[in-house]
Amino acid sequence: MGSLGAMLRYPDDIYPLLKMKRAIEKAEKQIPPEPHWGFCYSMLHKVSRSFSLVIQQLNTELRNAVCVFYLVLRALDTVEDDTSIPTDEKVPILIAFHRHIYDTDWHYSCGTKEYKILMDQFHHVSAAFLELEKGYQEAIEEITRRMGAGMAKFICQEVETVDDYDEYCHYVAGLVGLGLSKLFLAAGSEVLTPDWEAISNSMGLFLQKTNIIRDYLEDINEIPKSRMFWPREIWGKYADKLEDLKYEENTNKSVQCLNEMVINALMHIEDCLKYMVSLRDPSIFRFCAIPQIMAIGTLALCYNNEQVFRGVVKLRRGLTAKVIDRTKTMADVYGAFYDFSCMLKTKVDKNDPNASKTLNRLEAVQKLCRDAGVLQNRKSYVNDKGQPNSVFIIMVVILLAIVFAYLRAN
């Protein structure tokens, strides 16, 4: 659950937090009894609790395929991210990874903590993969092959231009969007629109660019070697070296660079909204929409925020719970994108060199949301100014006492 201070400040977070806590407990109790499937779902909870919640929206057959797809790509990503692996050893593994998923004897020890467990016991993932329908297997193999080749390319090449940045993000995330669309098609749940590849790619790029922006400090401080994904074409305007952005004496230039990175990510919003509008299955819609709302919310927090260069910036847990609880229709998506773009707009500094460009971008997003004609029905995500209130505090304390007594009894 969220911290007590946050719950007192935002009392309407409490009910969604309780629902999310129960959903997590329910998901953990529904782990399949078969060893390989049990490993897959247990590992999913460990490497991404939020994703393990979102995936519960899907029916069993599609959920199994998406779970395996996620773990295969997470394993591939673990190889790419491990900076201790020599390049001449890493590149062949990345290129051949799509063949290893058919081999229940294959494993490769790398990564740390839960990721090392995933790699050491990858045979469980392969066993689960081999039980999927042929259509799912073919989609997962194809995307893994293309992603591994793309990752190998950028092991030997730095991200210099914005085009390089888009290409790298395509390989590591845009292809995930394409792969999920193929899985939805294989399940018979969705149809592909003529522009499905472009808008599926944008869905992945929007999420990946948000992560790259948010994770600047973690990536630049990686040992033994920094991971650098911000394109030189952008950061080179503000610093001599990418690592210089983390130093306090460079805060003004660092924040300006950060803001330009956020603008770049916002360019994908129209495609993302178009993709979500095209979805027919309500469970797939929620599965796709929740992470997109989390991304626009995270960008709104990161924009003009020097804390990106000092520590971790992320949505409070109560707001995450609200997004998961409230996101049911496209009206909810339009409302969330409108609210977070409004929040971002209030943070634009007129002295920022890209202020005008940022405002134009945000106004385009807001117009798109307004033109949908559903904003009057939305529940605001960001206008709930957290204000401590003595009556609320008393009610919260009583409620928490009841909840803890109930949990202890059960």
Residue 400 has pLDDT above 70, yes or no: no
Measured in degrees and rounded to the nearest 5, phi and psi for residue 406 equal -65, -45
Residue 340 CA: distances (Å) to CA of 5, 317, 382: 23, 16, 7
Tell me how far apart the 2 most distant CA atoms of the chain are, in Å: 64
Find the catalytic residue in 51, 69, 287, 381.
287
Find the catalytic residue in 97, 122, 129, 214.
214
Task: Assess contact for 341 and 369: CB atoms under 8 A.
Answer: yes
Catalytic (active site) residue 232: no
Find the catalytic residue in 168, 206, 216, 303.
168
Residue 142 has pLDDT above 90, yes or no: yes
Question: Is the pTM here over 0.85, yes or no?
Answer: yes
Catalytic (active site) residue 214: yes
CA distance 38 to 44: 10
User: For residue 410, what pLDDT is reported?
Assistant: 61
Catalytic (active site) residue 168: yes
CA distance 44 to 379: 31
The residue count for the chain: 410
Secondary structure (DSSP) of 217-274: HHHHT-SSS----S-HHHHTTT-SSGGGGGSGGGHHHHHHHHHHHHHHHHTTHHHHHH
Catalytic (active site) residue 227: yes
Find the catalytic residue in 145, 227, 326, 378.
227
Tens-digit pLDDT profile for residues 389-398 = 545 555 555 6
CA distance 266 to 209: 9
Q: Examine residue 32 and say whether the peptide bond preceding it is cis (omega within 30 degrees of 0).
A: no
Secondary structure (DSSP) of 2-38: --HHHHHHSGGGHHHHHHHHHHHHHHHHT--SSHHHH
Tens-digit pLDDT profile for residues 355-371 = 999 999 999 999 999 99
Of 18-27, 101-110, 202-211, where does mean pLDDT reach its minimum? 18-27
Q: State the residue for tokens 């392969």.
A: 126
